[in-house]
C-alpha cells in the first residue's frame, strides 16, 4: 500500500493486489504512511541470553520465498536461518498459524488478526526462563459482522474475492 501511495510500482508478487492497495492508499492519511514506512523491518531482542527475532515478513523474495512461504517445514526454516543465532523467530504476513520447534529454535506466527475464516483474534504469550522458551497462542472471539458488511458498504475493490479467500465467506 505504501508503494501505491507514493505512486511506485508494486512490490514483487503484488501486481494482482494493486487496485486494492491503491484504493487503500487513496483513503489513508499520509502521516500513517510515514509512520508505517519508518517502522523497523526487524527487531532483534535478547532476554536471559536468548535472542529473539521479530519481523512482519521474515523471508526474502528469493527461492526461499517460493518454497517455504505457505507451509514451511522445520527443516526448511532451519536451513533458511542456519547462519543465525536466533532462539525464537516471530513473524507475520502469513495468514496461517505456524508454531514449529526444532532443536535449534522456535518459529512462531499467530496468523492474521483480521483475515481469518473465524471471528477470532489471537495473541501470543512468550515465557522465557533459564530452562527455555515457551510460547502459547490465545484466542478471543469477537463479532466481525459490521467489519465484513463494510466491504460492500465501502465498495472495496475485489471484495468478493477478498471475502472468499481471507474470510471464508
Q: What is the pLDDT of residue 37?
A: 87
Q: What is the pLDDT of residue 140?
A: 92
Of 124, 46, 61, nearest in space to 90 by CA: 124
Q: Greater confidence, 132 or 13?
A: 132
Residue 63 pLDDT > 50: no
Measured distance CA(65)–CA(52) in Å, rounded? 21
Going from the N-terminus, what domains does the chain have, and what CATH number goes with each?
1-39 (no CATH), 42-167 (3.60.21.10)
Residue 167 pLDDT > 90: no
Q: What is the mean pLDDT of residues 16-44?
A: 88
Residue 32 pLDDT > 50: yes
HEC string for 56-69: CCCCCCCHHHHHHC
What's the pTM value of the predicted model, to 2 decimals?
Answer: 0.80
Of 26, 56, 60, nearest in space to 42 by CA: 56
| C-alpha cell, 109 | 506466527
Q: How do residues 93-139 score in pLDDT, each as one tens digit?
A: 767 778 889 999 999 988 777 777 888 888 899 999 999 999 999 99
Residue 6 pLDDT > 50: yes
Q: What is the pLDDT of residue 14?
A: 64
Q: What is the pLDDT of residue 136?
A: 93
Q: What is the pLDDT of residue 91?
A: 84
Q: What is the pLDDT of residue 105?
A: 95
Residue 58 pLDDT > 70: no
Alpha helices by DSSP H, listed for the chain, are 2-5, 18-25, 30-38, 63-68, 74-80, 145-153, 159-167
Percent of the chain with pLDDT over 70: 88
Amino acid at each position: 500500500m505504501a508503494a501505491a501511495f507514493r505512486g511506485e510500482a508494486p512490490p514483487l508478487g503484488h501486481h494482482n493486489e494493486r487496485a486494492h492497495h491503491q484504493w487503500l492508499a487513496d483513503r489513508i492519511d499520509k502521516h500513517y504512511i510515514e509512520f508505517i514506512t519508518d517502522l523497523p523491518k526487524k527487531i532483534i531482542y535478547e532476554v536471559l541470553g536468548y535472542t529473539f527475532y521479530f519481523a512482519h515478513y521474515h523471508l526474502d523474495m528469493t527461492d526461499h520465498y517460493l518454497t517455504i512461504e505457505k507451509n514451511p517445514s522445520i527443516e526448511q526454516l532451519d536451513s533458511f536461518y542456519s547462519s543465525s543465532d536466533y532462539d525464537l523467530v516471530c513473524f507475520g504476513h502469513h495468514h496461517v498459524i505456524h508454531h514449529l520447534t526444532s532443536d535449534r529454535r522456535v518459529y512462531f506466527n499467530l496468523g492474521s488478526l483480521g483475515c481469518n475464516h473465524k471471528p477470532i483474534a489471537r495473541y501470543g504469550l512468550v515465557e522465557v526462563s533459564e530452562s527455555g522458551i515457551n510460547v502459547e497462542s490465545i484466542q478471543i472471539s469477537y463479532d466481525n459482522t459490521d467489519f465484513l458488511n463494510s466491504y460492500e458498504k465501502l465498495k472495496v475493490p475485489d471484495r468478493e474475492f477478498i471475502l472468499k479467500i481471507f474470510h471464508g465467506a
